[in-house]
């Protein structure tokens, strides 16, 4: 019997269905499903894992954060514990009956490691299988891809798995050692611990550095002159001097404007926008972020669509379709996809298809492309949006360029030059299938040189230069890739960890004071963990492991040596480190001023119940308190309620953050409560259950 091990249960089921030369018999080992079928006359059993079946961890004697010196973790033995006992038992049981085993996990470092971990359980149960292992590598869960992979089985890459294991071990050693040290130095234990990570910390340092840039930025004043002209419909123009540095100059120009303006120049310029290139992981996550999907969520949705057979493997660096990809076959099923079928039809009518090519070409996986037909009804709304994004990108890469026409008008009014311009799409090309990159047409009047129009009004606008923008999640993914921080598989989770630890909020990412100070303290006293150079160098070392140029043990030991130096420096700076971090924590926990005593209002916790509330720092002389929501991160906004003057906070939790003031007796809050209660009562009177929206509004107004 041939045992086939996949990364997930639904992948195992699909592989059985694709390979079976007849019916598939469903079975279970306790709660773990497996699928028995015949392939090439041989009995096969396909079973799925739940990702990693083994997790790296330290022995039990190192579990007490307060009693164990963190430096002991640097050289402590790393054990592999079974993370999914039921799955492990199923693998062992099935292995006893097998005479061959095929690893069919995802084809990348992580997938290779997951497969090798599973093999350790296989060999434990049946050592005879050590010489009978094969590897199936595919990039899409489709009949053609899976059959091709099983017709061309290869060997498992121990080097590739070793690179994945090196990452696991190094991340555990650095993360556990420094997280414990920082948490102990700041006395933050339990759910309040402060995490440090090999990739997480330099990413946080990037965000914090940008925020410090913004705060240090000194705005410079400038002035703009805008006017409204009329030729039938009114339209807006600007002075040709886009920014006046002196107010006197803009005022003079304003005074010079006459009652009319004469067209002095009409310039038109055609341009061609070449079609976009195929999706790799980074460009996909960036595009998904632009339509409202956080990288971690987009990555999860793409993984689900892959295992359901709708798109190809979503972790790839490649931006060039392989010659083996049958573009017409893909277009054949895209004809039936809602909203895009007409584009597929037009492409199929072409004699030749010429897809675009990006700058990166690899041989492991193709770019992300649709592999199966899906209807809108078959998918959840969020899945459908991601599927559509992938489908439309694929179509766009096969279409012609978009053509635009830019028209610029120049006017003279009282000796002052005014100008306006607009760009319109004259030929949709690839933008017809991929509207995400399309900007709205800017229509301007059809005028000729010498025509005179009326100056309806003019206005001087006082403005200031703006600081550099914060990183949006999509932009941050690109910056991380450029700096070698993380991998295509890990970057979304790294960003999500920053949110989960309360280091950042919102998108673009705004660091909390705690996040800024943790980054500052690490930069000051452990610069290696806060800079991208070290972690990027480690990524190169892991590439070398996967290529068999260096051993996993050498890389891990070198990393330990660096960590020892970092730890020694931290030990000598513990008080200063803790003072910096606590400055940020206290700032985040200060919500405003007490209306009675004028002292700070700060977040406190009840000693017995541990429930949080707002209390006056002047206690016991001042006993003013306010309740707080018990779940979600509290972010002070530094603003006050326009109805009652109490400090406003943002509560991060659930699907969407919400803003409220801390005063339960606020008139605005009472109005909201009454309105929400009235709506809920109205819905009940009509025989309906109160809507989720009504219940949530009622909860917010009473929290």
Angle, helices 532-546/200-216, rounded to nearest 10 degrees = 150
How far apart are alpha carbons 506 and 490 in whole angstroms?
A: 20
Task: Transcribe 655-679 into DSSP letters.
Answer: SS-EEEES-TT-HHHHHHHHHHHHH
How far apart are alpha carbons 681 and 83 in whole angstroms?
A: 48
Tokens of 271: 């341009």
CA distances from 388 to 20, 310, 381, 435, 477 (A): 31, 11, 10, 11, 21
Tokens of 646: 């109490």
- The helix (run of H) or strand (run of E) holding residue 64 is none
Question: Which residue, 418, 417, 372, 368, is CA-closest to 394?
Answer: 368
Answer for the pair 306, 107: CB distance below 8 angstroms, yes or no: no
Answer for the pair 48, 12: CB distance below 8 angstroms, yes or no: yes
Cα–Cα–Cα angle for 258, 260, 263, rounded to 5 degrees: 115
- Where would I find the H helices in 52-199? 85-95, 109-125, 143-151, 158-185
Q: What are the strands, taking DSSP E only, across 22-86?
A: 25-29, 32-39, 42-48, 54-57, 79-82
CB within 8 A of 395, min separation 6: which ones? Answer: 334, 340, 343, 344, 347, 430, 433, 434
492 burial via Cβ count (<10 Å: 0-12, 13-18, 19+): buried
- Cα Rg of the chain, angstroms: 31
3-state secondary structure of 146: helix
The residue written with tokens 């006893």 in the block is 96
Active site residue 313: yes
For 330-351, give one letter per residue: b (16+ CB within 10 A) or e: bbeebeebeebeebbeebeeee
Answer for the pair 310, 387: CB distance below 8 angstroms, yes or no: yes
3-state secondary structure of 489: coil
Say if residue 130 is preceded by a cis peptide, omega within 30 of 0.
no
Half-sphere exposure in the Cβ direction for 457 (13 Å, CA): 5
**β pairing state of 25-29 and 54-57:** unpaired
Tokens of 411: 């006017």
Phi, psi of 544 (to 5 degrees): -65, -35
Catalytic residue, chosen from 313, 369, 499, 503, is: 313
Question: Which residue, 394, 319, 411, is CA-closest to 364?
Answer: 319
Tokens of 22: 């007849």
How far apart are alpha carbons 393 and 385 in whole angstroms?
A: 12
CA distances from 68 to 71, 73, 177, 198, 277 (A): 9, 9, 10, 21, 52
How far apart are alpha carbons 129 and 101 in whole angstroms?
A: 7
Q: How many residues does the chain have?
A: 703
Question: Which residue, 94, 412, 54, is CA-closest to 260?
Answer: 412
Say if residue 84 is preceded by a cis peptide, omega within 30 of 0.
no
Question: Which residue, 310, 309, 394, 653, is CA-closest to 505?
Answer: 653
Catalytic residues: 313
């Amino acid at each position: 019997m041939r045992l086939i091990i996949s990364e997930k249960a639904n992948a195992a089921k699909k592989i059985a269905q694709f390979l079976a030369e007849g019916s598939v018999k469903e079975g279970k080992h306790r709660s773990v499903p497996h699928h028995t079928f015949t392939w090439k006359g041989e009995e096969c059993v396909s079973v799925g894992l739940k990702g990693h079946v083994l997790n790296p961890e330290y022995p039990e004697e190192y579990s007490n954060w307060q009693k164990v010196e963190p430096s002991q973790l640097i050289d402590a033995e790393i054990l592999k514990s079974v993370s999914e006992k039921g799955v492990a038992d199923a693998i062992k049981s099935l292995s006893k009956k097998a005479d061959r085993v095929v690893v069919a996990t995802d084809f990348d470092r992580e997938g290779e490691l997951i497969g090798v971990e599973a093999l350790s359980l296989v060999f434990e149960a049946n050592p005879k299988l050590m010489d009978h292992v094969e590897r199936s590598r595919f990039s899409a869960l489709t009949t053609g891809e899976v059959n091709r992979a099983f017709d061309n089985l290869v060997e498992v890459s121990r080097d590739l798995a070793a690179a994945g294991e090196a990452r696991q071990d190094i991340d555990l050693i650095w993360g556990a050692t420094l997280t414990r040290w920082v948490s102990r130095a700041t006395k933050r234990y339990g759910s309040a611990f402060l995490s440090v990570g090999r990739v997480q910390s330099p990413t946080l340092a990037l965000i914090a550095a940008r925020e410090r840039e913004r705060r240090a930025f000194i705005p410079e004043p400038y002035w703009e002159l805008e006017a409204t002209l009329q030729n039938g419909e009114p339209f807006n123009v600007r002075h040709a001097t886009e920014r006046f540095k002196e107010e006197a100059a803009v005022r003079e120009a304003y005074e010079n404007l006459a009652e009319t303006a004469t067209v002095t120049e009409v310039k038109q310029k055609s341009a061609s926008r070449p079609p976009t290139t195929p999706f790799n992981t980074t460009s996909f996550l960036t595009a998904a972020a632009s339509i409202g999907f956080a990288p971690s969520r987009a990555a999860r949705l793409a993984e689900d669509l892959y295992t359901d057979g709708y798109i190809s493997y979503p972790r790839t660096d490649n931006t060039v379709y392989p010659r083996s990809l049958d573009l017409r076959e893909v277009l054949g099923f895209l004809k039936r996809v809602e909203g895009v079928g007409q584009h597929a039809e037009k492409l199929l009518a072409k004699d030749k298809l010429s897809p675009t090519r990006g700058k990166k070409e690899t041989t492991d996986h193709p770019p992300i492309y649709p592999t199966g037909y899906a209807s809108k009804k078959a998918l959840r709304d969020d899945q459908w949006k991601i599927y559509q994004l992938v489908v439309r990108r694929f179509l766009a890469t096969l279409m012609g360029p978009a053509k635009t026409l830019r028209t610029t008008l120049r006017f003279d009014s009282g000796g002052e030059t005014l100008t306006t311009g607009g760009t319109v799409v004259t030929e949709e090309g690839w933008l017809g299938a991929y509207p995400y990159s399309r900007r709205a047409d800017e229509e301007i009047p059809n005028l000729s040189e010498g025509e005179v129009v009326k100056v309806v009004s003019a206005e001087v606008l006082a403005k200031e230069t703006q600081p550099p923008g914060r990183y949006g999640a999509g932009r941050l993914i690109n910056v991380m890739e450029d700096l070698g921080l993380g991998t295509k598989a890990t970057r979304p989770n790294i960003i999500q960890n920053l949110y989960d630890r309360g280091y950042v909020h919102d998108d673009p990412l705004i660091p909390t004071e705690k996040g800024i100070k943790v980054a500052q303290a690490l930069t000051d006293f452990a610069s290696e963990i806060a800079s991208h150079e070290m972690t990027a160098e480690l990524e190169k070392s892991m590439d070398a492991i996967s290529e068999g140029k260096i051993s996993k043990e050498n890389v891990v030991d070198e990393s330990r040596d660096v960590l020892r130096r970092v730890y020694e420096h931290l030990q000598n700076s513990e008080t200063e480190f803790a003072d910096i971090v606590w400055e940020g924590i206290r700032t985040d926990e200060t919500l405003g001023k007490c209306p009675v005593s004028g002292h700070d209002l700060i977040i406190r916790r009840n000693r017995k119940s541990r429930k949080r509330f707002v209390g006056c720092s002047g206690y016991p002389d001042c006993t003013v308190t306010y309740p707080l929501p018990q779940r979600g991160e509290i972010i002070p906004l530094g603003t006050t309620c326009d109805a009652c003057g109490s400090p406003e906070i943002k509560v991060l939790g659930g699907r969407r953050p919400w803003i409220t003031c801390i005063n339960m007796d606020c008139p605005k809050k009472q109005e909201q409560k009454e309105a929400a209660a009235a709506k809920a009562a109205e819905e009940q009177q009509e025989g309906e259950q109160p809507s989720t929206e009504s219940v949530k509004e009622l909860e917010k107004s009473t929290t």
